[in-house]
């Protein structure tokens, strides 16, 4: 079974979070996950339906390694949720500020 590596809360860095969210596709993935408010599969959170699975997997890996999302296996699906509490504990208000100004 695949085991996903997630950084501990104290290992989440500002540089890692900002670098991960600098990509427009990853930013859209995080926005979709937050809008849903629950776990979503990679496919359901994809910003566009025709994105190659390898590219989508890479985006989720970057988000996971930055500490932005938590991924778990449920059957054959990878389920994802934003680690909002961890991000807010490390950098209060950062995620909200980024998402507020993301469309400008």
Sign of the torsion formed by the C-alpha atoms of 24, 88, 96 and 29:
positive
Q: Is 98's pLDDT higher than 60?
A: yes
Of 69, 4, 71, which Cα lies nearest the Cα of 30?
A: 69
Q: What is the pLDDT of residue 69?
A: 96
- Each residue of 11-67: pLDDT tens digit? 999 999 999 999 999 999 999 999 887 778 888 888 787 888 899 999 999 999 999
Helix axes of 14-21 and 24-36: crossing angle, nearest 10 degrees: 100
Could you tell me where the DSSP H helices lie in 14-101? 14-21, 24-36, 42-45, 53-66, 84-90, 94-101
The residue-averaged pLDDT of 64-80 equals 91
Question: 81 to each of 33, 38, 56, 104, how far by Cα in Å?
Answer: 6, 6, 15, 25
């Amino acid at each position: 079974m695949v085991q996903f590596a997630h950084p501990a809360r104290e290992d989440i860095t500002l540089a890692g979070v900002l670098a991960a969210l600098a990509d427009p596709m990853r930013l859209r993935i995080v926005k979709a996950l937050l809008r849903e408010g629950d776990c979503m599969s990679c496919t359901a959170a994809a910003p566009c339906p025709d994105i190659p699975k390898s590219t989508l997997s890479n985006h989720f890996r970057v988000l996971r390694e930055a500490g932005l999302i938590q991924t778990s296996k449920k059957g054959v699906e990878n389920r994802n949720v934003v680690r909002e509490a961890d991000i807010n504990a490390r950098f209060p208000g950062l995620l909200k500020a980024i998402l507020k100004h993301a469309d400008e």
